[in-house]
Structure 1
């Protein structure tokens, strides 16, 4: 066996090891564009300076077979990039069950807030928790009936600290006055013009009507605590 053949076998063995050790989240991309002879030659010439794009270093088996036939220097480059792949990125399987369960707003008067979110926006109270000097209200749309609160997505939690409703000088910061922070919630509707017409009839306060400003396909309404709620059309999200 020629000496060079032994080197190529060692190169192939190294590449197989790389295939076994490549992290799962990189396995869906393809190395096919590196498998052709011209590009392999180009990649080999770059091996010493390790300039192969990191995005090309994945575990597509068919392309890796071609790489295993390439000079040892190329596999050396692949090994270098294998060691540089970030280890902090969690495999997708570890986050597959994660979901955005809820956001929380503090409200001054729960009667006014529940009236708004139930009767104006059509949400339902799906759970309630009394904590002594505070009460939590959990609201959601009933598109997920029969699902537990922990399994749901996009729940709105309203927190009422008892007594705030009796203090005329009390108000929560809505995040859009200085210093700015929280921005807004967003609700999508099938017919945005009909929704805004209905809000007008109900006496809802607007931060921005459809006809205001340059963006004529969105609106902003205000809840009783002056939190902004963006209204968008289901088929034309921004």
Structure 2
């Protein structure tokens, strides 16, 4: 008999899972480790920088042309003081002492020549969500107003991959290609749909999926479903 794919009850929101993680004592060698940045390969720096800087609000921490490729490190200036003097903010964050302590950075990685048409030696980027080349899923950005953000991006020509309120298998995305192989079969549980209802997806210039989430998730759930439902509730029991 093959093992079950998950030990968790369907539809249950479980902080800590089953709380079976090993203890984390003060002398653990992983203390101080942080998730510092993510890296995406890009084809066209002009298009990608327009998306992440102009449309998403990030700003340049530093750039470096290494010869074969150029790196663009981006981040979010978090204070009014930082936003008022972007050059000072970039100098502060890019200092090696601060750079590795700063969370939420994005590295755009442009290998020179990939911007050319494919028939001239350029390279198409795989976004990790198109079968059979599955892997990377998405980057998640929290925003004050998901609906307003989606409409602003749509007006700028950005492709909307998943609209607010859509909770289908296809919008996860889960494909027929996977289902035919017995992978990811079944319907989405109503409890998760309450979360997923409040999320939108857009595509960046290379087709990577960008998840747009509300910064006040409970407020958005209250607006649509009423305050009797809270994060972690079993929605089926409330119905």
Give TM class, smaller chain.
0.5 to 0.7
Q: Distance in 1 between matches of 2:99 and 2:30?
A: 19
SS at match of 1:112: helix
- Give the TM-score of the pair, scaled to structure 1: 0.59
SS at match of 2:35: coil
Q: Does 1:225 align with 2:214?
A: no
Q: Distance in 1 between matches of 2:201 and 2:154?
A: 12
Query: What residue number does 1:5 align with?
Result: none
Question: Relative CO higher for 1 or 2, CA cutoff 8 Å, sep ≥ 6?
Answer: 2
Gaps of 5+ in 1: 1-54, 56-85
Query: What residue number does 1:213 align with?
Result: 167
Aligned CA RMSD, in angstroms, stands at 2.3
Q: Say if 2:126 and 2:133, in contact at 8 Å, map to a contact too.
A: no
The count of aligned residue pairs is: 152
Gaps of 5+ in 2: 1-19, 80-88, 169-195, 219-230, 232-239
SS at match of 2:152: helix
- Give the TM-score of the pair, scaled to structure 2: 0.58
Query: What residue number does 2:116 align with?
Result: 166
**Residue 113 (structure 1) shift:** 0.6
Q: Does 1:204 align with 2:158?
A: yes
Q: Does 1:234 align with 2:215?
A: yes
Q: Say if 2:138 and 2:210, in contact at 8 Å, map to a contact too.
A: yes
**Residue 236 (structure 1) shift:** 1.1
Q: Does 1:179 align with 2:160?
A: no
Q: Deviations over 1:22-57 (max 9, x none)?
A: xxxxxxxxxxxxxxxxxxxxxxxxxxxxxxxxx9xx
Q: Does 1:142 align with 2:59?
A: no
Query: What residue number does 1:108 align with?
Result: 43
When you count helix as a share of all residues, which structure comes out higher? 1
Q: Deviations over 1:87-118 (max 9, x none)?
A: xx763444332211111110011111111100
Q: Say if 2:198 and 2:213, in contact at 8 Å, map to a contact too.
A: yes
Aligned partner (choices 25, 38, 41) of residue 91 of structure 1:
25
Query: What residue number does 1:21 align with?
Result: none
SS at match of 1:125: strand
**Residue 201 (structure 1) shift:** 1.3
* Closer, same or farther: CA 128–235 of 1 in aligned 2, 3 Å: same
